[in-house]
A and B are shown apart, each in its own frame.
Chain A
Amino acid sequence: MNEEINNGNALPQTTVNPNVVKMKTFWKKFIRNKPAVIGGALILFFILTALIGPHLVPHSPNVQNLANKLNGPSAEHWFGTDQYGRDIFSRIINGMGITLYVGFFSVTIGLIVGVTLGIISGYYGGKLDAIIMRIMDVLLAFPGILLALAIVSVLGGSLQNVIISVGIFSIPVFARIVRGSTLAVRKLEYIDAVKALGANDFRIIFKHILPNVTSPIIVQATLSIATSILTASGLSFIGMGAQPPMPEWGAMLSDGRNYMYDAGHVAAIPGLAIVVVVLAFNIFGDGLRDALDPKMKN
């Protein structure tokens, strides 16, 4: 009874911050977006595959069997064999881990550096903002893969360097998005209110602004993973990334292109795998954006 009387005081819910969406409405919108749900389910499936798959596959990814090379799909080799007679199915499953690893870690680098720069830029403004954002503009001016390629050629071709270079190339996107959201949030009255309470800049930035700009960051991170995977595969394709015999999809695609006419599946299957993973992340990211963006009603 008492409970009811007190609740009677509360007004209907109003969204105060444009960047914050209630968890409930988020789920409702997200579940209704069928492609996004499928994308999410696929990503979950990919992660499980990457974790458990390598222990279950029938063949080792690097065992050669030259007598059996360039065979088409069969009951024994589901996706056929490549030019050394290795089982493509096992290689794809093992490559899943590499692909996701590259995607997640490079985006993590870009996210941490980009979010920090963007939030500082947006909060302090002025000269600092101008300097940071001009550097970001320079990075953005390069076509993505060209920048990654330049960095990798300086650092040397290896998977680790691919992660670093792809990470650097995703910094400006995060910096820009976070700067924009920070500009909007820092003008809000509750930031003035905590300032008037005596909070220092560090506290304001990380405790009060950051939680209010997370939704655009989450969406961008998901979409960036797709781009990063694509760029990393591209680098491996031109031989600047993962080195043989690593079952990296881009490298596998590159190997397979020599046998396009005789055994198309050697190139087609890793290509298809890249497409499916990138697509899954993209539609999942789009769905997240629709569900988290309050401007997109219904």
Chain B
Amino acid sequence: MTKATDTLIEEPILEIRNLQTSFFTDKFEVKAVDGVNFAVPKGKTLGIVGESGSGKSITSLSILRLIQNPGKVKGGEVIFKGENLLDKTEAQMRQIRGNEISMIFQEPMTSLNPVYTVGQQISESFQIHQKMSKKEAMLRSVEMLKLVGIPSPERRVKQYPHELSGGMRQRVMIAMALACDPELLIADEPTTALDVTIQAQILELMKDLQNRLGMSIIMITHDLGVVAETCDYVAVMYMGKVVEYAAVKDLFKHPKHPYTVGLLNSLPRHDIDLEDEELQVIKGSVPSPADMPKGCRFAPRCPFASEICRERLPDLEESEDGNQIRCWIYTDEWDGEPEVNVNGERTS
């Protein structure tokens, strides 16, 4: 097990070590998150990228200990400001949720309670954590709406969620999450359900708020465009494991893991003329978590996979530039072709 390094991260606000979360059925155990390590530097944004089912959402729910039956956090450590959240009592966790670590969800349409006004819902955090009176909380809610850039907040605060557009609702969600000035914001695909222009606005808003309030962000997404735009560091997840952890510039310039390369190649590129080249796809599909490959999880789909890849799981190793990679190709034990060109060089 490798620890997140000091060269890469000076002062992590959150560090996850060997986190394991499983879902149990009658017959078998599905390891949704299987030994995940990463760190979130203070005031920075970490992107977690991966396909559906790679365990990125489960990781974020595990941090807040919101995993529900039949799921369970089996092991590992979630170190937030020097303390392991997995050792906290439920009451202590409630003090942390919404107060020190907040979360915004994917679907702004269903993430607000339809029977309460926007103001009542933002007031909720103030009432839970700061024991404010209703009146005071409502005044603060108006301020929060102003902060997230909603016009005429005095009027909006009295409206119900169905009276707002998707982008507006996501702004309200952000206002709710930021009400108590948390140090870490977990955004679970915050822009997936929004159309492109609104997406840009919301990302812009989050960046702006981060600069003003100085919080750290975990941005969970499957959209590499979002990552490029907002993140400082990226953790690429595949089947419950981090396969590559790198600064965002390094990842886009020199992706190392064949999976990361595959992800990047499957994006349309504007910098080179691709008239006679087709968009590449990663062959095959994600195996069922109930039927894990024995060696490297990506081996069945990897164009470079050799004997050792199919037999043994590689560790998350640190490379010279301080980034981390889980791939045999970059180790001394590599038994495949000696000069493998993963083709990870990109011009932009």
Contact = CB atoms under 8 A, between A and B. Distances in A.
A196 B94 contact: no
B170 to A, nearest CB: 12
Contacts of B168: 9-10
A189 B114 contact: no
Interface in A234-258: none
Interface in B78-130: 94-99, 102-103, 105-107, 109-116, 124-125, 128-129
A298 interface: no
B165 A198 contact: no
Contacts of A193: 103, 105, 111-112, 173, 176
B66 interface: yes
A14 interface: yes
Contacts of B166: 11
A25 interface: no
Contacts of A6: 151-152, 155
Contact of B125 (A14, A198, A208): A198
Contacts of A16: 109-110, 112, 114, 161-162
B162 A195 contact: no
A65 interface: no
B307 interface: no
Contacts of B95: 198
Interface in B119-174: 124-125, 128-129, 151-152, 155, 161-168, 173
A233 B252 CA distance: 79
Chain A interface size range: 20 to 34
Contacts of A189: 105-107, 110-111
B159 to A, nearest CB: 9
B107 A212 contact: no
A192 B66 contact: yes
Contacts of A13: 162-163
A164 to B, nearest CB: 33
Contacts of B64: 196
Contacts of A208: 113
B69 interface: yes
Interface of A: 2, 6, 9-11, 13-17, 20, 125-126, 188-190, 192-200, 203, 208, 211-212
17 contacts: A6-B151, A10-B163, A10-B165, A11-B166, A14-B162, A16-B109, A20-B115, A126-B69, A189-B107, A190-B114, A192-B66, A192-B105, A193-B111, A193-B112, A194-B113, A197-B177, A198-B95
